[in-house]
Amino acid sequence: MKVIREIASWVVPILVGLAIAFIVEKFVFTMARVDGPSMEPNLINNERLIVWKQAKIKHLSVIVFDAHGEDPTATKPKTDYVKRVIGLPGDTVSSKDGNIYVNGKVVPQNFISMNERTAGTGNWDIKSLSKSWPKNTHATKVPKGEYFVLGDHRSVSNDGRYWGFVPKKKIIGVAKTYFWETNKTKRTNVNRLGY
């Protein structure tokens, strides 16, 4: 009996700890890593992020989502992308001369340079983009339960312009940087933007 109690005295705390860790990762937060240059200059390749699963998704929030089934080039399940939310459900989105318009109003893009706004961006709206999408062809606005996302480094970002919207069910959460891994401007551009 004494041996069983001794074994239980160290097995039970381990099991409780594992259960708490599982619950936290499943419902509260997880970790992610930036893969590639699409979010430069605010996030760089291999930068680590905290992903808050219950955070409210707002315009300009940086999110992490599973692109498998959305982007045709994401052929493996759990292919996580990090992008910035531009359009919420019901929004119209367009681009002209480096400016992004949501519901006819200019979106402030102080988080990227004029060159990053204009290089490779072009003039477009959801209707013109959606003609070449595999899903939601002929869409004119962001559908209910879905989001329109762009990378900050527009000229190299594989984002919603090329394959469409991100369903809410594919979003893992809102990304935040660690305070010690980046400078104040970058932290503000990732952690504090949103309206």
Catalytic residues: 38, 83
Cα 67 to Cα 35: distance, rounded to the nearest angstrom: 13
d(CA 17, CA 113): 45
Question: 74, exposed or middle or buried, with CB in 10 Å at 0-12, 13-18, 19+?
Answer: middle
Question: Do the beta carbons of residue 104 and residue 116 sit within 8 Å?
Answer: no
